[in-house]
Structure 1
C-alpha cells in the first residue's frame, strides 16, 4: 500500500497525514474522490500520539448540553474572525465526531470535564483505526516525502507538487485539487515545522503571526524556586493595562520558571499575543477565589481573633500550601519577623495580606516555546478562505484544514475537534463541487 506507484497523479492530494488530513482522506474517499496523501514522516499522525497525555483527547462533550451545540462549541475557538469556525462546526460537531469514530470501530468514553477519549485510552488506537480505514479504502500514502513547492496552472492538472524523498530524491506529483493539512508550529519533533505557512504564502496567502497556545507562562518573580511544585485551586487573570482580559479557574501549579496547570494553559493565548505586541502582561492570582474581598477580610479577622497567640506563619497552616506561606510573608514584608503574633499585626500589614489573598500579581516575561505548546495561535488569514468550505479565495481548488489556518481552540479536545470538523467540511465541499451540488 505504501510504496510509490508508477502513477503520481490523483484527483485530490492531501499534504499532511495528521488529524485533519486523515479525516479529510477518509471522508473524501467515501464520497468517491480519488485521493492520495503526502507525509514527511514515516507514519501517520505522530502528533496525535502526544495528545491527551498519550490517550488522545478526541473531543469534548460539554457543549452538547445546550440547545445550540454548534454555537456553544464555536465559543471555544479563537480567530481574528471570531465567527469563522461556526459554519464548519455546524456541519460536523461533537455528535458527528462520536458517530464517525463509532462507525470506524473506535468507541469513545468521557473521562473528566467532558473530555472524550478512545475506550482503550491509547492514542495509538486512533492511528491504528485510521490506518485500517485507509487500507480498506485503498488510499495511498507517500511517506518520507517532503513537499518543497507547489505550482499552480490554469490547465489540467491544476497543481504540480514538487517533493523531496529519501529514496528517489526529487519527485513531482500532480492533482486537480489540493488540501493543505500541514499543522502549525507546535511539537516540531513530530514534523510540524511551519512549512505549510511557507507553501500558502508562496501561493499568495497572508500569515497572521503565530504564537504558542495552550502553554506554560514564564514569570518575573524572585522566589519561584521556593514556590516550585506548589499546587492550589485558584483563579487566574491575565491583566493588561489594569484591565482583565481573561480569567480561568482550576488547579494552578508553580514551576521554577513560572506557572502551569489547566487555567494557565487556557490563559496563555491572550498573554502570548499581548506580549508579542510589546504590552506589559500580569498574571493576577486569587488564592481564595470562592470568597469575596469582604468575606476574606471577615474570615481572616475572625481566624486571627481566635488564634491571636499564634504566629502569623502558623495561622496560615491548613489554609494555604505550607510552601506558599513563607513566600507570602516575604511579599507582605514581614518575613523578618518570624515570631510576629496575629494579635500584633498592624492594620497596614493586614490590608496587604487581605489583598494578596485576592490579588497576587506576577509579571509575565514570556511563554514557553512551541516545543511545549499544545497548539499554534495564528496562521493563514481566514479572511482569504471561503466560510464553511475552507477553499482559498485566491487559488481555486486549494483548501486549508486544521491548525495551518488562524483558528485555535481551548484546552480539552477542542483543537482535535477542529481538525476533524475542518477535514470533513473541506472534503464535503469538494464532493459537492465535483457533483455540481455546491
Structure 2
C-alpha cells in the first residue's frame, strides 16, 4: 500500500489507539520578560499503534487538547508563528525519550485566548517485547515573531501513561537494541556561523593611537591645527538615565569621541567601550538603529547628530551585542576651542524607542575650530544624507510588526544599550 517503499510504521500491526491524559504543568515565560512562572493544566491525547513487533519503527502523535498557558492580553500572535516541540517518554519493556515536533502552523491567536498548538509527531524503534508505555513530558512553545521566544513547560506531578503498545517478539533478530530509538530531527540545528561581533567599524585598536598626530590631540586637550588631521578623544564614563518602554533605567557607559578633519569640518566617530552583553533573545537583522546628539561647548554651541548602522546580521540568543560606531559630520559654527561631549542616545528597535539622557556632561574631545557657513553656532548640526535612511528602515520594521511591539523593550541592566543592548519581548501575565 505504501508504494512498495517498505516503510515500517507499525500501521499494519494493529489499529491505532488514542488516549488522553491531563497533568499539572509549570510554564516558564521567556527570561527576558521578567514574568513569574505560571501553572496550568495540560491535556494531551497520544495516538499510537495498539500492537507492533520488535524491530518496527512506529509513529506516535501528540495532540494538544489544552495547553497549560493562554496567550496573554498584550500581543496578538500571527498565523503560522507558533511551533511546539516536546518529549514523550517510553517506559515499561523499553525506555526512551522520543523527540516530538509539530509544524509552525496555527491560526491567528488573539490576546488573552487559548493557545492553538499544532499536533506533534515522533518515531520510536521498538527494541524489546512486552508492553511499552507512552507518557507525555516537558514541552516547549516557540513564537517566531516579533522576535523568537520560548516558553518552557514541565510537569509538576507524576504523569500517567497516555497509551500502551503491546510489542511481540516477531522472531528473528530485528529486536536487537540500537540505543538510538529516535533521532531528534525536530530539534534546532546548531548555528553554522559563530557570532560575529558588531561593530564592524573601529575595533579596540582605535583606542590605541598609532601616530604621533593622534597623540597630540588625545585626551580632549588642545588639539592644535598644525597639519594634524586625526584627533583622539579621551574615554569618559557617562551616567545615563534611560526612558524605556518598560520603565526608567540607569546605566553608565564608557564613551569616546574621535574626529578627523576634512577641510573646515570634522568627521566624528563615537565609540562605546566595553559594550558587549549576551542577548537574551533572537533579534532579526535590520531592526536595531542607534543615534546620538553630540553636545557642543566652549566656543561653539548646539549638537551634532551621529548615528550607527542597523545590525547587519541576526543576533542569536546568547550571542554578544555591541553598540556600533556612531558617525556624523561636525560643521563648526564658531571659531575657537570647541568641546564635544556625549549627549542623548536614542535606540530604535522594532517600532520602539529608548532614550538615554546623560545626567552629567563629560567632555571627551576639544578641537580648535574655524566658523563654517551653515555651522552649528547654537543650533543643531546633522550628518548629511543619513537621517532619511534612519526613519525609512525603522518605519518599515514597525509596520511589519503592526505596531504591536509595545511589548518589546530595551531593558537596562548594568549596561543597557550602551554597555550592550538587551531586548525584551514582554508577554504580560501568561494565564
TM-score category, normalised to shorter length: under 0.3
Q: TM-score, normalised by structure 1?
A: 0.25
Q: TM-score, normalised by structure 2?
A: 0.26
Greater strand share, 1 or 2? 2
Higher relative contact order (CA closer than 8 Å, sequence separation 6+): 1
